[in-house]
């Protein structure tokens, strides 16, 4: 019997997507971003599937600790760094690299006497105004950090692109220029020693100028496009995740019948309605609009009515002979998650990250 809600993960696609990163950035080392439970695909599962990369990045210290406790030996950078001495101790104990973006962190590092215990990524804020030092603070901070005995020299340097998914937006080149100009103020031997990192997936795919010593792909490793006008498959990537369910009821409805909470969908002519066992309690987006495509028996049918916690309703006009138990695909297998994201006014990142605990995970290699 088909489980009610399950996601199939094609882990072999991960290696293909890493190869695509290498095609775009042949000279760069790869820091694979696996924060947020590997973008919803499972932190450890993804770490194991991506063994061939040069480093991992996670957002938070506890994500790095989970990887270490599972025996992952690969270099790991913690993108949010640390906010107190206790967290720094955890980074040291588990041998995690820290992103350094604030003066509080600099002061904590300066207060320590150990020698060469931690590698850091000094983050410059080139316009996103999230984490990082402003370019005019850079030289001072860099000098202070080179004096910290606890830091393993040389210091690595990074910034993050805010608009790289918009290929027309001049912001990205401005950010890259600001980063490079700022680093050009360092002594030449320091410039040579420090490794640099700029590009996320959109940077790798659309901005040659962003390719430096290290690239930091996230979403593209999962086979998903960072752009709103293309799918991962159109970029030569292979999606890892597909999301599935099954029909649990099929019935005739009459003209004038209302479907779902608040009766937002009104039947205009008699049709066949299908109920599938998946809803926002599984991570299917509550804001998917009527008309969002769903595959029933591999054929597209439109979502109708509101998405409930455990169920959705679809119009089976084109499949009047469908039966309870028939397979339903919410995304994947020819239905791009990027298309579903557009139908729900969101981005595919939120859909894959949002798949909940209740969804059974099936690894494709094990099928
Ligand atoms: C999440 C993140 C990435 C990866 O971004 P994608 O768009 O998923 O490729 C890279 N760098 C930083 C600092 C991030 O926070």
> Has 261 been annotated as catalytic?
yes
Instruction: Give yes or no for residue 155 having a pLDDT over 80.
Output: yes
3-state secondary structure of 177: helix
Q: Which residues make Cβ contacts (< 8 Å) with residue 46, sequence separation at least 6?
A: 14, 34, 38, 39, 221
Using the CB atoms, write b or e for 239-260: b if 16+ within 10 Å: bbbbbbbbbbebeebeeebebb
Q: Give strand pairing partners of 55.
A: 31, 75
Instruction: Give yes or no for residue 367 having a pLDDT over 60.
Output: no
Q: Please give the distance, rounded to the nearest whole angstrom, from the Cα atom of residue 199 to the centre of ligand 1.
A: 8
What digits encode the pLDDT tens for the residues 47-98? 999 989 999 999 999 999 999 999 999 999 999 999 999 999 999 999 999 9
3-state secondary structure of 321: coil
Domain extents in the chain: 12-225, 241-366
User: Which pTM was predicted?
Assistant: 0.96
Q: Please give the distance, rounded to the nearest whole angstrom, from the Cα atom of residue 19 to the centre of ligand 1.
A: 18
- Say which of 24, 35, 280, 349 is annotated catalytic: 35
Q: What is the crossing angle of helices 85-93 and 61-69, to 10°?
A: 30
- Say which of 167, 251, 255, 261 is annotated catalytic: 261
What is the spatial distance between Cα 317 and Cα 272, in angstroms, rounded to a whole number?
5
CATH class name, domain 241-366? mainly beta
* Domains 12-225 and 241-366 equal at CATH topology level: no
What kind of architecture, by CATH, is found in domain 12-225?
Alpha-Beta Barrel (3.20)
How far CA 285 is from CA of 238, 281, 337, in Å, comes to 22, 9, 11
Structure confidence at residue 363 (pLDDT): 94
> Has 35 been annotated as catalytic?
yes
């Amino acid at each position: 019997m088909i489980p009610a809600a399950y996601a199939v993960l094609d882990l072999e696609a991960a290696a293909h997507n890493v190869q695509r990163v290498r095609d775009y950035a042949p000279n760069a080392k790869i820091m694979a971003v696996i924060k947020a439970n590997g973008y919803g695909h499972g932190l450890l599962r993804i770490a194991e599937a991506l063994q061939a990369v040069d480093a991992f990045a996670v957002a938070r210290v506890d994500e790095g600790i989970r990887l270490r406790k599972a025996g992952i030996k690969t270099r790991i950078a913690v993108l949010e760094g640390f906010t107190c001495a206790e967290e720094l101790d955890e980074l040291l104990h588990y041998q995690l690299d820290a992103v350094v973006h604030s003066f509080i962190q600099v002061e904590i590092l300066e207060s320590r006497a150990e020698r060469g215990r931690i590698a850091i990524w000094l983050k410059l804020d080139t316009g996103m105004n999230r984490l990082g030092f402003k370019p005019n603070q850079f030289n001072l901070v860099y000098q202070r950090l080179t004096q910290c005995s606890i830091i393993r020299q040389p210091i690595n340097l990074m910034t993050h692109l805010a608009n790289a998914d918009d290929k027309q937006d001049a912001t990205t080149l401005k950010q890259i220029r600001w980063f490079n100009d700022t680093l050009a103020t360092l002594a030449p031997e320091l410039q040579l020693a420090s490794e640099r990192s700029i590009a996320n997936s959109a940077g790798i795919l659309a901005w040659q100028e962003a390719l430096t010593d290290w690239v930091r792909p996230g979403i593209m490793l999962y086979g998903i496009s960072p752009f709103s006008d293309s799918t991962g498959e159109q970029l030569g990537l292979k999606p890892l995740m597909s999301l599935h369910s099954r029909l649990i009821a099929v019935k005739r409805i009459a003209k004038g019948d209302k479907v779902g909470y608040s009766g937002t969908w009104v039947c205009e002519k008699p049709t066949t309605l299908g109920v599938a066992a998946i809803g926002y309690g599984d991570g299917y987006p509550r804001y998917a609009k009527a008309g969002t495509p769903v595959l029933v028996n591999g054929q597209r049918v439109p979502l109708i009515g509101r998405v409930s916690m455990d169920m959705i309703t679809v119009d089976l006009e084109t499949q009047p002979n469908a039966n309870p138990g028939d397979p339903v695909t919410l995304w994947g297998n020819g239905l791009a998650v990027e298309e579903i994201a557009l139908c729900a006014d969101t981005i595919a990142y939120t859909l894959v990250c949002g798949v909940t605990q209740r969804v059974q995970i099936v690894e494709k290699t094990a099928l």
